[in-house]
Structure 1
Amino acid sequence: MSKQLIRLTFIVLLGALLGACSSLTTSQHQVILSSGVALTLTAPPEGLVGQTISQLLEIDYQGEQHSLLAQVQFQPNGLNLVATSVQGLPVFELTYIAGEGINAQRYVPVAEFDFEYIVADIQLALWPMSSLEQSLMQGEMHMVSDGFALHANGDMSVRVHKTDSITVIQHFTRHYQLTITTLE
């Protein structure tokens, strides 16, 4: 076994023993992506309802890369997401219901992050442009050759690049990049 895998397993087990599970409920309906750019969280578009998608999430933040496997199930009023480490250890799960908010459960002590940004990034990656334009409360959306960009006061805040199976979301103000690869 590699040292990194042993270390990760130890951290997960220690965290499970010390902290058990922690849960969080938030009723936030609007996510501030940057100063001047806000997105309202909405129910999935009709075309996604009933689908389940498996994805590899790769997050680049402060020079570090983290990878998670995620399974997202879309329902008429929201979504369920379960995330595991690439080794298969459960990390967190969340349920988002439009108009009610997010209920999330962490299984390991991980760096604090806001679950509403996960739901917002799922919307940016998978919702059709017409739905996103209606959800954008502040800022402007500009189409580019392989996706779109969100601007506030003339500055680009978020850039979304899309191909058939890969979406890259760059958050310039929040200083992270999320690469979402759809798995078959």
Structure 2
Amino acid sequence: MQRYLVTIILTLLFSCSTTQQPAEVSIAKDIALKLQSVDEEVKYYQQALLTVTMQEQQHNMLVNTEYTQGKLAIVAVSLQGMPLFELTHDDFGYVDIKRYIPLDIEPAHILADMQLIQIPVNKLSSRLIGGRIEEVQNAENRVRTLYFHQQPVIEVTYFDSVIEFHHLQRQYKMTIKKLKAH
């Protein structure tokens, strides 16, 4: 028990915070996305269960996403309630992340993945450099695919309350199950 408590305290003490202003984010080999600033008119809140599968390991977390007053805030906690990270993106394009545990992913990549999932395709198309995005609606779901030279790179499938994001190049999957939204 003491070892667990010491680990938590050291993690909190040595958590790091970084701020950056990325204009473009490499989302795949030879493809970049110009990040979109946060629309001041948008007001949105969502709580979701996020499952990330990477190298045959699965990680679950609760993620709260909130768009208010020109700012996007994402807070992730483990299923046991331990804080993992906080990410904010403002209308000036600044991205700030506070990591409470070591993360192998850049905050700009998290933000780019969120924008690939949430921004309408017609707005995304003009922000992509080196890739092409298409969206198809069928009877059961909607599928969004990012291509590089006719080769699928990222696939996003939208179901009623679940979104599946599959990065084919970086070989990871995210499943987002909406718990609450308004």
Change (3 A) 1:70 1:94: same
Residue matched to 1:39: 33
Contact kept, 8 Å, 1:166 with 1:182, in 2: the verdict is yes
Alignment TM-score, normalising by the size of structure 2: 0.85
Residue matched to 1:3: none
Q: How does 1:80-95 map to 2 (within 5 A)?
A: 80-95=73-88
Contact kept, 8 Å, 1:56 with 1:183, in 2: the verdict is yes
- State the identity as a percent: 28
Residue 55 (str. 1) matches residue 51 (str. 2): no
Q: How does 1:1-184 map to 2 (within 5 A)?
A: 10=4, 13-17=6-10, 19-44=13-38, 49-107=42-100, 109-145=101-137, 146-184=142-180
Count of aligned positions = 174
- 5+ long unaligned stretches in structure 2: none
Structure 1 stretches of 4+ with a deviation exceeding 6 A read none
Contact kept, 8 Å, 1:93 with 1:104, in 2: the verdict is yes
Partner of 1:149, secondary structure, is: strand
Partner of 1:113, secondary structure, is: coil
Give 2:31's aligned amino acid: V
Task: Output the CA distance in 2 between the equivalents of 1:132 and 1:98.
Answer: 17
Change (3 A) 1:45 1:165: farther
Partner of 2:9, secondary structure, is: helix
Aligned-pair CA distance for 1:144: 2.9
The more displaced of 130-139 and 80-89 is 130-139
Residues 132-179 of structure 1, C-alpha deviations (whole Å, 9 max, x = no match): 223222211122342211111221111111112111111111111111
Aligned-pair CA distance for 1:76: 4.6
Change (3 A) 1:13 1:112: farther
Change (3 A) 1:132 1:143: same
